[in-house]
Amino acid sequence: MRRRKGDEDRLSLVGEGAGDRREGQPEGASERVSAPGSPALPPAEDMGPGRAPDAAPEPGAAVEPSAPSGNHGDQAPQVERDGDALRFTGRLTSLTAGSIWRQALEKAKGARRIDLSGLEVLDTSGAALVIAATGAAGQDVPVEGASQPVSAVLERSRAAAKPPPPVAPGQRLGLVRWLGAWGVGRVKTAGDGAAFLGESAATVVNTVRRPRDLRVADVLRHLDEVGTRAFGLTMLLGVLIGVILAFQSAIPMRQFGADIFVPRLVGISLLRELGPLLAGVILAGRTGSAYAAELGTMTVNEEVSALRIMGIDPMVLLVMPRLIAATIAMPVLALLMNLAGLIGMTIVMLGLGFPLQLVLNQLSAGIAVGDLVGGLGKAAVFGLVIAGIGCRAGLSAGSGPRAVGDAATAAVVGGIVALVVLDGVFAVLFFRLGW
């Protein structure tokens, strides 16, 4: 590689230690040579309190000595075509290379040599541009005039640079193959779900036979998290739903003079359908996702594997307490939702001028204990299924933080879909049974 006279001068003062490679110092410059890529630094004694951090210069650039060093400055890099030569000048670093990247590649076309004699600073990012320009010009194009520090960085980067592997032509997946793959995936998912269901059933049986395996403290903790801590939200939503239902039904019913029957309508709607359903939505959004995230994190961290290796069944230790807690808490939440909804409805009816006694009479005449019990029974099943879906989503999580997010999403979506499907099943069942 040809070396220019100025290079010898610069090299003569380059420090011998690590870090002095990338920038030469002109004669007469301070002996305080700084690391390439580091900023102009004050003397150690000057780094006292009060020194403004905004004095930090650009990263990726070699350090300028604090004493004036001639004509270095913060010269932006430039690229120009000089006959058959592509010439880089200035400071070519990670922060400055972007400004001339495309220009350099454009100008490199047809160049026969690349001249780096005007380069003051080069870091590995700048070297990537020189390598790219060399490629654009043609692989055999010589690089000339680089000072030793610049040359060292360039050589190291060149040894590291490897062209991206050729992209394999994408396999064309016909519609039939795609449908087949989708179908197989669905069947596999359904199979996994059935396996989880079977495992859960077996765990329930085993727990009944050996109740000591169940950790009561865990059940109580989950009861608190699923139930007690959801009371406020359930009450709030319940009252609002009651108010909305009462208003929305009172307006059309008033046209027929039937607004007195609003308590019956709202009462039956809440007790049979909306109370359990809305409590289920709360459970799916609040608890199902939490179960999936917690168990998903444990799966990702291999805590679940550790349990299995210790001979402890994760179904017993992790899943059963959650299933039991959700199954117990859901009817309570549904009951709370019913009561709150009725309170909201009563407030509206009082506001519309109906006396409290009349509202209570309508309620007692319109709803039966069976409505309440049926709704609470549904709620218990909802709780069991939503908790099961959340636990399964967590335990089947993949790896990495994304898997936890995916598990939480799957738990909420699966929980709500299952909720609506189950509600439909119950509606048909109750209709057939005449309840």
Output the smallest distance, CB 131 to another protein, in A.
7
CA distance 291 to 236: 23
Structure tokens at 411: 């738990």
Structure tokens at 163: 């062209």
Q: Which residues contact 354 (CB under 8 A, 6 or more apart)?
A: 260
**107 belongs to the binding site for another protein (CB under 8 A):** no
Binding segment (CB under 8 A) for another protein, from list 98-106, 176-184, 242-250, 329-337: 98-106
Q: Is 286 in contact with 270 (CB distance < 8 Å)?
A: no
Binding segment (CB under 8 A) for another protein, from list 121-129, 207-215, 247-255, 379-387: 121-129
Interaction pattern, residues 379-398, with another protein; x per rule: CB under 8 A: -------------------x
Nearest in space to 270 (alpha carbons), one of 308, 228, 301, 234 = 234
The structure tokens 């030469």 sit at: 24
Q: Is 131 in contact with 103 (CB distance < 8 Å)?
A: no
CA distance 99 to 350: 72
**348 belongs to the binding site for another protein (CB under 8 A):** no
**51 belongs to the binding site for another protein (CB under 8 A):** yes
**52 belongs to the binding site for another protein (CB under 8 A):** yes
Interaction pattern, residues 159-198, with another protein; x per rule: CB under 8 A: xxxx-xx---------------------------------
Output the smallest distance, CB 4 to another protein, in A.
22
**Residue from 5, 49, 172, 211 in contact with another protein (CB under 8 A):** 49
Output the smallest distance, CB 82 to another protein, in A.
23
**Residue from 116, 137, 153, 411 in contact with another protein (CB under 8 A):** 153
Give the Cβ contact number of residue 158 at 10 Å.
14
**127 belongs to the binding site for another protein (CB under 8 A):** yes
**208 belongs to the binding site for another protein (CB under 8 A):** no
Strand order in the sheet with 113-122: 78-82, 85-92, 113-122, 143-144
Output the smallest distance, CB 100 to another protein, in A.
10
Q: Is 319 in contact with 203 (CB distance < 8 Å)?
A: yes
Output the smallest distance, CB 89 to another protein, in A.
19
Phi and psi (nearest 5°) for 79? -130, 135
Strands 78-82 and 85-92: antiparallel
Binding segment (CB under 8 A) for another protein, from list 10-18, 74-82, 174-182, 318-326: 10-18
265 half-sphere exposure, CB direction, 13 A CA radius: 18
CA distance 124 to 94: 8
H/E segment holding residue 89 = strand 85-92
Output the smallest distance, CB 74 to another protein, in A.
13
If DSSP codes are grouped into helix, strand and coil, which group holds residue 349?
A: helix
Structure tokens at 267: 């009462």
**Residue from 5, 18, 208, 212 in contact with another protein (CB under 8 A):** 18
**Residue from 5, 27, 53, 257 in contact with another protein (CB under 8 A):** 53
**41 belongs to the binding site for another protein (CB under 8 A):** yes
**138 belongs to the binding site for another protein (CB under 8 A):** no
Binding segment (CB under 8 A) for another protein, from list 148-156, 230-238, 257-265, 327-335: 148-156
Output the smallest distance, CB 292 to another protein, in A.
17
Output the smallest distance, CB 126 to another protein, in A.
8
CA distance 199 to 432: 31
CA distance 38 to 19: 10
Q: What is the binding site for another protein (CB under 8 A)? A: 15-22, 31-39, 41-44, 46-47, 49, 51-60, 62-63, 93-95, 97-99, 101-102, 123-125, 127-129, 131-132, 152-153, 156-157, 159-162, 164-165, 398-402
